[in-house]
Structure 1
C-alpha cells in the first residue's frame, strides 16, 4: 500500500490533496489536544487493555478495571481536561485476541465515548470530532476489523 504522504524530514511531510482526502478535516482544532498512542499487540486480554488505558490515557484513581468503568471514564473525561482527544492504536487487529467476546465490550466503550463527545464546528464551518480514534491494522485485516466493529456497534445499540 502506498503511503498517503512523503516524509521530507522527521517533522515535515508532503501530501497531495487527493492522496489523503481532506487531511485538514481530521486534524484537531486549535486548542489543547490530548493524544494517546497504544499498541494492540500488547492488549491481548482485558487486563492488558485496562493497563494500556491506565497508563496511555491516564485514567483516574477511581477507575474500576472493567469495561463499564472504561466506558464511564471515556464518556466523562473531567479528570483529563482538553479541547479534543485523539486515540491511536496500532496493530488494532490484535486487541483482545485472547478474549474475542470481550471485543464487543471494548469497541462498544469506544463507540459510546465517540457518540458522547459528538462533533465540534471549526473554521469554515467544517465539523470535526472531539474524540477521534484511529485503528491501524494490517491491510489484510481491515475487512475483519470492520465486521468486528460493526457487530460491536450493533450489540451496543
Structure 2
C-alpha cells in the first residue's frame, strides 16, 4: 500500500504551487479525539480549535493559517472506515465532504480558491468501501484507481 500511496501522492505533488498533505491511518482513528488529534497534528490547527466536530469543520473549511494551492487528506487503510452516521468515521467523512465543498469556487466567499481532495487508499475491499461511501452521499472520483 505504501507504494500505491507514494505513486499517487507523487502524481499529485508534481503539480505547480504549494500543496499541504495530511496522511491519516483509518486504523488509528478509533474515537472522536483520535480524529481531532490526527488532523490537528497534520494541519497545525490554531490554538482556538475547539476539539469538536463543528470546530473541525470550521478549521478544515478555513486553513488560512496554512496557505496552499491545494490540500490533500490521504487516508490509509480506508477500507477499515465505518461509514455509519454518528460514528467517528461517519462524522469524519461527512466533515471532510463539507470541507471540500467549502473550497469549491462558488463557495469561497471571495478568498482565493484552492483544491481540497480526500484520497482513500484501501488495502482490501475497496468496492465495499465505495458502496458504503456512495450510500452516505459521497461523490467518488475513481479516476485515481490504481488497478
- Fold shared by both chains (TM-score > 0.5): yes
Cα deviations by residue, 1:52-73 (Å, 9 ceiling, x for unpaired): 0110121221111111111111
Question: Which residue of 46, 65, 69 maps to 2:55?
Answer: 69
2: CA distance, partners of 1:83 / 1:56 = 17
Unpaired stretches in structure 1, ≥5 consecutive residues: 5-10, 14-19, 120-128
Unpaired stretches in structure 2, ≥5 consecutive residues: 106-113, 139-147
Structure 1 consecutive aligned stretches of length 4 or more whose deviation exceeds 4 Å:
none
Question: Which residue of 119, 123, 147 maps to 1:138?
Answer: 123
1:98-113 correspondence runs (5 A):
101-113=87-99
Q: Paired residues, what number? A: 126
- Secondary structure at 1:145 match in 2: helix
TM superposition shift of 1:31 = 1.1
1: CA distance, partners of 2:119 / 2:32 = 20
Cα deviations by residue, 1:8-66 (Å, 9 ceiling, x for unpaired): xxx9x7xxxxxx9xx96x55641111111121111111111111011012122111111
1:1-157 correspondence runs (5 A):
26=12, 29-95=15-81, 101-118=87-104, 130-140=115-125, 142-153=126-137
C-alpha RMSD of matched pairs (Å): 3.1
Structure 1 pair 152/67, CA: closer, same or farther in 2 (3 Å)?
farther
Higher Rg? 1
Cα deviations by residue, 1:106-125 (Å, 9 ceiling, x for unpaired): 11111111112126xxxxxx
